[in-house]
Chain A
Amino acid sequence: MGKISDALTKGNVDELKEVVQQALDNDAVPADLLNKGLLPGMEAVGQKWKNGEMFMPEVLRCAKAMSGAMDILRPRLAKEDLGSAGKMVIGTVSGDLHDIGKDLAAMMFEGAGYEVVNIGIDQPNEKFVEAAKEHKPTLLGMSALLTTTMPRMGEVINSLKEAGIRDQMAVIIGGAPVTQEFAEEIGADIYAPNAGSAVDLAREYFESKA
């Protein structure tokens, strides 16, 4: 476990994949690898990030390593083993081609063990609904950088309601002009002011619902 946590906090993608594969070959219990190795490792990374001891490029490299390890591990895990690390669909709304914030958030969630389906930029409302139906995420993320495209986020939420699937997932939104007030107005569950805080805010939300 020490090796796993080590490779993870170093952000070494290849090394971590190798260590995880080796452990699996040596009959380690997949759930243990996740819960005793990877997740505590990422938690330490998250703590350092919050304390200002780690920076975005380092954290995202760790997240990338985590995501690579999860690709190997996920097929071997039972659904209940995944715990809080659920599935996320994320995209930028129609008319908006800005994606850096959304991509950073997606990487952070992958780092937290989420399986993330990134549907990309400029996505029409119905694409969000389709993706939500297809992937059955626990979390749906949307971003907009422009005040002209912000209203699309509310429309997506309405479309989810019309499709009768709004209650099956939490909705998280972000983007420079977006505020807590706006999130409440359109009926989103979580507002993240930046990519770095999104994972924590989602965790707090799910804990409050549990």
Chain B
Amino acid sequence: MKINQTINKSPQFRVLSEDQIEQIYFSALEVMERTGGVVYHEGALELFKNSDALVEGNRVRIPITMVEEALKSYPRKITLKGRNGKRSLFLEKDMVSFGTGSDLPFTLDMNTGERRNTTYKDVSDASKLVDALSNFDFHMSHGIVTDAPNPQTYDRHQFMAMLENCTKPMVVTSVDGEGLEDLWKMGCLIQGGEHEFRLNPMFVVYIEPISPLKNDSTAVEKLLFAAEKRIPAMYTPCPSSGATAPATIAGMLVQSLAETLLAIVMCHLKNPGMPLIMGGVTTLLDMRKSTYSYGAPELSLASAANTDISKWLNLIMFSTGGCTDAKILDEQAASEQMMNLFYSYLSGANLIHDVGYIDHGTTASLESLVLNQEMIGMVKQFGKGINTDDEHLALDLIEKQGPGGEYVTTDHTFKYWKEWFMPQLQDRSDYETWVKNGSKTMGQRLKERTQHLLDTYQPEPLDEKLRKELKKICEDADKRHM
């Protein structure tokens, strides 16, 4: 037998060396002590005042020891269980999962091709598709319910639309602390109680600071509530390089990490041991169009580097992929989505969100979700790597079939071709067959497939009694906000 062997079970990919990660981390620590951040929340400021941090007005500067102490108390693994009862989402180092993004104000209407406001129905449809599509592991709302009775309670209705049509674990957004409390109550009802939710959380709550280094009262309110109840949460900086962060990726990563570290300390002060997840939509402001780009190659590079940092810090990572700046689902969309999908996957980020976003994070598209189902299949195939054991090296087979032989009919082929990626929508037929089948473009096939899924797929319905109880929480919220 051989010794000194290294076998790559999967391809290896990283952007930053350990020394570079340390450079970024130590720089972020410097930001914590020298620059700090601003916090617009009295309760949080009180927490900082009662600690070693220096509080001047809303400005908080944090000693490094506090940061490093806090960093030790976060979980390296979180497991989520959807309402389907399956503990299906294992968030741990290098375990990758894919899901949609949330709260897109517009929808590219599948039937008219027009962009319009997103409705309850659109969120329901997206939820149904996510439930149906096997490569989506978790669900965010995709769109934002703009036709709720009141914008201040839309989050409960949105969650309801998601719950009715999707059984997978979720990442949810809420209007404020009160909204989050309602969503959490709904989650507890589904899981069977507070302790059950704690052991088997069904969602992570998405919260974001405002770059650079700013924490608004609503975000902090949600974060502190999550800390109190130990609800898994991600605090996701969304810096735009060149506008709300330095124009260099290194500088943006330093600032973004400092924004995360501030939350790390804040949650630790509130309630040590909450399941906090690191995040980041780290991209740039386009200097010609003044938009926050979801298709820039820099997004892929910065996100992969951010994931390298998260692994070094032993934090779970919420990253970004499968998104584009293209206004419709065209060639630009496919190329951009594929690129950021691929690199976020290779980086080993745990939750890859915004899959299916078009129009730089403002427009939802159902067909885009179906396209990404196919593309995720492709990147996952790449991730399988190459097995080099004797059976796979196939020396005996090569000898047996010999020069001029064939492999199509061998048992070996019959066994192993099934490991290949099987396209569902990509067309690999010859030209004549393609013409005979109607000369359909990928766009046409996507539309047909999407419509077919919407017409035929039936998500497992909510239990009627549970449904009523959940509805009541929504209605009570509406009454409070009349």
A contact set with B: CB distance below 8 Å: 52, 55-57, 95, 97-98, 100-101, 104, 122, 147-148, 150-151, 176-177, 194-196
Contacts and interface: CB of A to CB of B under 8 A. Distances in A.
A148 B288 contact: no
A196 B291 CA distance: 10
Contact of A194 (B40, B210, B289): B289
A97 B287 contact: no
B118 to A, nearest CB: 9
Nearest to B104: A177
Contacts of B289: 194, 196
Interface string B354-374: 000000011000000000000
22 contacts: A55-B287, A55-B288, A56-B285, A97-B210, A100-B240, A100-B244, A100-B285, A122-B40, A122-B216, A147-B144, A147-B146, A147-B151, A147-B154, A148-B151, A148-B154, A148-B175, A151-B151, A176-B361, A177-B105, A194-B289, A194-B290, A196-B289
B210 to A, nearest CB: 5
Given A98-B210, A177-B105, A104 B290 contact: yes
Given A95-B218, A176-B105, A56 B287 contact: yes
Contacts of A195: 290
Nearest to A178: B105
B47 interface: no
B259 to A, nearest CB: 14
Nearest to B214: A97
A57 B151 CA distance: 36
Interface string B95-114: 00000000101100000000
A6 B362 CA distance: 39
A104 B216 contact: no
A194 B144 contact: no
A196 B247 CA distance: 19
Interface string B181-219: 000000000000000000000000000001000101010
B271 interface: no
Interface in B277-297: 285, 287-291
Contacts of B240: 100
A95 B103 CA distance: 17
Interface in B135-150: 144, 146
Contact of B288 (A56, A95, A97, A147): A56
